[in-house]
A and B are shown apart, each in its own frame.
Chain A
Amino acid sequence: MILVVAEQRGGRLSRASWETVAAAQAIAGSDPVVVAVPAAAPGNPAAEMAAASVAEVLALAHPALETYTADGYVQALSALVGERNPSLVLLPHTYQTRDFAPALAARLERALITDCTGLRREGDRVVFSRSLFQGKLAADVVAEGAAPHIASIQIGAFRADAAVRGDAPAPVRQVAAEVDPARIRQQPEEPFQETKAAVDLSQAERIVAVGRGIKGQEHLQLAGQLAKAFGAELAASRPICDAGWVPMERQIGSSGQTVAPRLYVAVGISGAIQHVVGIKGARTIVAINKDPEAPIFEVADYGIVGDLFEVVPAIIEALNAS
């Protein structure tokens, strides 16, 4: 049995949870996939998760899971794993997973392989791929020691919409999580966002990103209009964020976020390798650049060679007309 630990916040499943389900399905074969949804009230997200073609969804409930704490999650999940004895535990490689997964692995005395970009079966072993050196090298990793091995899946490595949906909803079972609130050492404070506009671009479906070709801050509104017309988030390459024209948390690339949208529109971005490694997971890349030799066209699915100040208004007009 493969256990997937889904992540929800405020009752909303993260898209990365679906990506992890897709990863589990890809390797499961005849092994059943079970999804656990830890929360204080996991009803809604568990019901949503039941749309997936999986053997079972476990609504892992305890009031102490209302807000995330590493101790609470480690207790709940180590008990669940001990009881269910899966062959493999998969988690989305989110910030939350990064926080508690090492402790979970240590508690269970099991191997942990983080940020995997792929996995496959070889005989009775599971071989995980991880990228090293900022994506330059891919290493194959095999866990040693007793099962279950624990692995986290890189955001964007699998596509959320590749998760197979079932013909009928999967059974949802209520499970009381074993959590002793007295043994939770963390006292979380109110969550806050560093800036009001903070977004998690890794979850965005569509992104319009601007680069140096935009020339001046005053032209950013043009990119903003394009993003609005697409219903997309606005992001930028490093020079733009460095200049302070776009907030740093919207920077994409090796020193910013790694994203995997369905549509990525690169406006005036030359496509330096530092930027391109951040959009490897994008499904469709559209590039607008006046330099036909710009490396962005090597990765773009659709390329428009032209002056963005002519091309972008035309696209906005066409989108708004349709």
Chain B
Amino acid sequence: MEREQLDVDILIVGAGPAGLSAALRLAQLQRAGGGEPLSIAVLEKAREAGAHLLSGAVLDPVALRELVPDFAERGAPLDAPVARDRVYLLTGAGRLPLPFTPPPLRNHGNYIISLSRFSRWLAGLAEAEGIDLFFGFAASEVLLDGDRVVGVRTGDRGIGRGGEPRATFEPGVDVRAKVTIFADGVRGNLTKQLCRRLPLMRDRDPQTFAIGLKELWEVQPDRVPPGTVIHTLGYPLRHDEFGGGFIYGMSGGQAAVGFVAGLDYEDPAFDPHAAFQRFKTHPLVSDLLRGGRMVRYGAKALPESGWYSIPQLFMDGGLIAGDAGAFLNSFRLKGIHLAMKTGMLAAEAAYDAVRAGDTSAARLESYSRAIDASFVRAELYPVRNVHQSFAWGLTAGLAYSALALVSGGWWFRRLRTEAGHERMRRLRTPPPPGAAVAPRDAVRPDRALTFDRLTNVHYSGTRHEEDQPSHLLVHTEVCHTICGEEYGHPCTRFCPAQVYEIVPSGDGTSRLQINASNCVHCKTCDIMDPYQVITWVPPEGGGGPQYDGM
């Protein structure tokens, strides 16, 4: 097949905070260094900047200050400076405010932002610097020449549901680059391929993740003043489950309300969406939201496992940055600044390597050394065991966290993790044939405070070309044989967008139906499926959620 080819010097995959910071840093280096300008391209599967980006989010501006020192003059959309911090331990109906806000959760000097808006602004800066941003193009495959990364292939367009080319068929483009920076986000599909094909996870712990679900609300005036930051622990999670809720007050009468649940829970009946809806019925939350209106919804996984699970970040012709490299401080609940900083450092390493005419792994290793010398390691290394300690339960996790604060993260040994899906336990009693496992904590949606999945999905704005093959590759034999008995089809619960449904097949049995076009690209199924038979691949470029203000 005839494929177009595009040759660039440096290719960045993903226009999130890491990829865009890399792009902007490259433009700055180019301007300072002069000489023949390098060709730089950014690929992004969303149809416009920020459309697939979702975060809480509280931004530590440390990297922004370095990247765009005059960010205030240039109109950075920093929604509200954090004015007050609260942490509550929730019980069924009660709340216990922590007597003081633990230092890692103190947010003085930080800003509440919408990551989708913030990144749209960054993309504007990059475009103004002359960087080519290609929106609506999903990178579907890494191009390798032996062990050397030589670029990526974008997804074909116009493939019909049955795999046949439609009238609009266009084959994907091979984008070849001297250095490719993989900033494809949490559980990035290309970074996942790289980690399979190259020994990048040698001596590393498996990565573990959480899922974050979020709604944007228009709230009654003064109910959640701008700058309010509330975090909760406990209800409706069990003691052995990692996670909690958040409420952030934004300008314009908006509030971000969300819930994070560790994707290492044991109970197969656990349902993160139900837990989120249940969380909103707690008086602490419902009092704040009463009389308001939900205007947006979304979900995204986040890397939680920290320092020991960061892959080898450099290879011949390639670098990994941001969430794709598991750069998130789960102790501070922050990762945007780390994504930005690693993107900037990756840009510097790539720029030097291309200018020197040597893009080998040995040369690009300077990136890892730069990370070790930066605030990234200084911030992540002391908390290297914190997330792992929560595997012992909330109390032990909090106790260890307190110890880590004073000891610089010391412990008798390195705490090991296992992949989150391996922790899911089998059902004690399989459901009777034809019956479904009831999601835990389910609430009856009132469509004012609480919502069913499908209604929520509508508010994500997600859309896909309908006539295309499913972008969720599932080996369904397992689904139709042992999964019902062993785990009761947990995909129908952990997916926040009702992609997976068990429906009657007409002959008395049931089958898995995949509503791929509901997908909000959170990657939870790829992560949490206990048999690991689900592979998320990018759908036709441009498809996916349409986040604005998330």
Q: A251 and B466: CB pair below 8 A?
A: yes
Q: Which of B405-413, B418-426, B457-465, B478-486 contacts A (4 or more CB under 8 A)?
A: B457-465
B343 to A: closest C-beta gap in Å? 29
Number of interface residues of B (CB under 8 A): 22
Q: A136 and B295: CB pair below 8 A?
A: yes
Q: Tell which of B167, B454, B504, B517 touches A255, judged by Cβ atoms closer than 8 Å.
A: B517
- Determine the chain A residues whose CB is within 8 A of the CB of B515 once the complex forms: 238-239, 242
Q: B466 and A272: CB pair below 8 A?
A: no
Q: B466 and A273: CB pair below 8 A?
A: no
- Determine the chain B residues whose CB is within 8 A of the CB of A241 once the complex forms: 466
- Determine the chain A residues whose CB is within 8 A of the CB of B455 once the complex forms: 272-273
- Please encode chain B, from 25 to 57, with 1 for each CB lying within 8 Å of some chain A CB and 0 for all others: 000000000000000000000000000000000
Q: Tell which of A133, A217, A274, A295 touches B506, judged by Cβ atoms closer than 8 Å.
A: A217
A146 to B: closest C-beta gap in Å? 29
Q: A243 and B466: CB pair below 8 A?
A: no
Q: A256 and B461: CB pair below 8 A?
A: no
Q: B504 and A242: CB pair below 8 A?
A: no
Q: Tell which of A133, A243, A248, A272 touches B461, judged by Cβ atoms closer than 8 Å.
A: A133
Q: Tell which of B466, B504, B548 touches A256, judged by Cβ atoms closer than 8 Å.
A: B466
State the CA gap A133–B455 with chains docked (Å). Answer: 14
- Determine the chain B residues whose CB is within 8 A of the CB of A239 once the complex forms: 503, 513, 515
- B546 part of interface (Cβ distance < 8 Å): yes
Q: Known contacts being A133-B546, A243-B513, A274-B454, is A254 close to B463, with CB within 8 Å?
A: yes
A131 to B: closest C-beta gap in Å? 12
Q: B548 and A133: CB pair below 8 A?
A: yes
Q: A248 and B454: CB pair below 8 A?
A: no
Task: List residues 251-296 of chain A with CB under 8 A from any CB of chain B.
Answer: 251, 254-256, 272-274, 277, 295
B445 to A: closest C-beta gap in Å? 10
- Please encode chain B, from 494 to 516, with 1 for each CB lying within 8 Å of some chain A CB and 0 for all others: 00000000011010000001010
B510 to A: closest C-beta gap in Å? 13
- Please encode chain A, from 233 to 254, with 1 for each CB lying within 8 Å of some chain B CB and 0 for all others: 0000011011100001001001
- Determine the chain A residues whose CB is within 8 A of the CB of B504 once the complex forms: 215
State the CA gap A215–B505 with chains docked (Å). Answer: 9
| CB-based nearest A residue for B515 | A242
- B467 part of interface (Cβ distance < 8 Å): yes
Q: B454 and A273: CB pair below 8 A?
A: yes
Q: Most chain-A Cβ atoms within 10 A of its Cβ — which of B464, B466, B504, B513? A: B466
Q: Known contacts being A217-B506, A254-B458, A255-B517, is A248 close to B548, with CB within 8 Å?
A: no
- A216 part of interface (Cβ distance < 8 Å): yes
State the CA gap A136–B216 with chains docked (Å). Answer: 14
- Determine the chain B residues whose CB is within 8 A of the CB of A194 once the complex forms: 167
Q: Known contacts being A134-B461, A242-B513, is A216 close to B466, with CB within 8 Å?
A: no
A53 to B: closest C-beta gap in Å? 40
State the CA gap A133–B294 with chains docked (Å). Answer: 14
State the CA gap A248–B455 with chains docked (Å). Answer: 22
- Determine the chain B residues whose CB is within 8 A of the CB of A251 once the complex forms: 466
B357 to A: closest C-beta gap in Å? 45
Q: Tell which of B161, B295, B458, B467 touches A274, judged by Cβ atoms closer than 8 Å.
A: B458
- Please encode chain A, from 78 to 109, with 1 for each CB lying within 8 Å of some chain B CB and 0 for all others: 00000000000000000000000000000000
Interface residues of A (CB under 8 A from B): 133-134, 136, 194, 212, 215-218, 238-239, 241-243, 248, 251, 254-256, 272-274, 277, 295
In addition to A239-B513, A272-B458, A273-B455, 6 A-B residue pairs with Cβ atoms within 8 Å of each other are A133-B546, A134-B463, A194-B167, A238-B515, A239-B515, A248-B161
What are 20 pairs between A and B in contact, CB < 8 Å?
A133-B461, A133-B548, A134-B463, A136-B459, A194-B167, A215-B504, A238-B515, A238-B517, A239-B513, A242-B515, A243-B513, A248-B161, A254-B458, A254-B463, A255-B463, A272-B455, A273-B455, A273-B458, A274-B454, A277-B458
